Amino acid sequence: MSNTMEVKFSAKSENESLARIIVASFAAKLDPTIDELADIKTAVSEAVTNAIIHGYDEDESKFVYLRCEINGDLIKIVVEDRGNGIEDVQMAMQPLYTSKPELERSGMGFTVMESFMDGVAVSSIKNDGTKIVMTKKINLPK
């Protein structure tokens, strides 16, 4: 049971909710619990918000790329931007770190993603973009 989908959308804050709905609809095939679905939606929100705010400095002319893949009981979600990139990924993934303190950002985006998903991998190249790959195993009904 393998399935994939891909979409791109403008880097507008209002599209963060669109991304949540798209991924939730795609994941529905796995019949996740309400908690599993909430976890996935929260992680997607954080990743998309990071792309818009940090990747593109809220430049609405840019695009966020979203891909999802289901293999068996595993969903893989990829959120990608082609923006600023992250100079030091390990530092950026530390709780409370933010590159935009003037926006009163909490610096907990990656921490939230890691706490709600089974796996989070971040790759980034300065001035070339960031790719976040998140995975979650869904407990399939017996």
Residue among 15, 20, 36, 50 flagged as catalytic: 50
Match 């030091």 to its residue by tokens: 88
Residue 3 a catalytic site member: no
Both structure tokens of 21: 């709905």
Between CA 28 and CA 24 the distance in angstroms is 6
Asked about 105 being catalytic, the answer comes back as yes
Compute the distance between CA of residue 56 and CA of residue 50 in angstroms, rounded to an integer. 9
Q: Is 140 helix (H, G, I), strand (E, B) or coil?
A: coil
Concerning whether 67 is annotated as a catalytic residue, the answer is no
Q: Of residues 16, 36, 46, 80, which has the active-site annotation?
A: 46
For the annotated catalytic residues, the residue numbers are 46, 50, 105
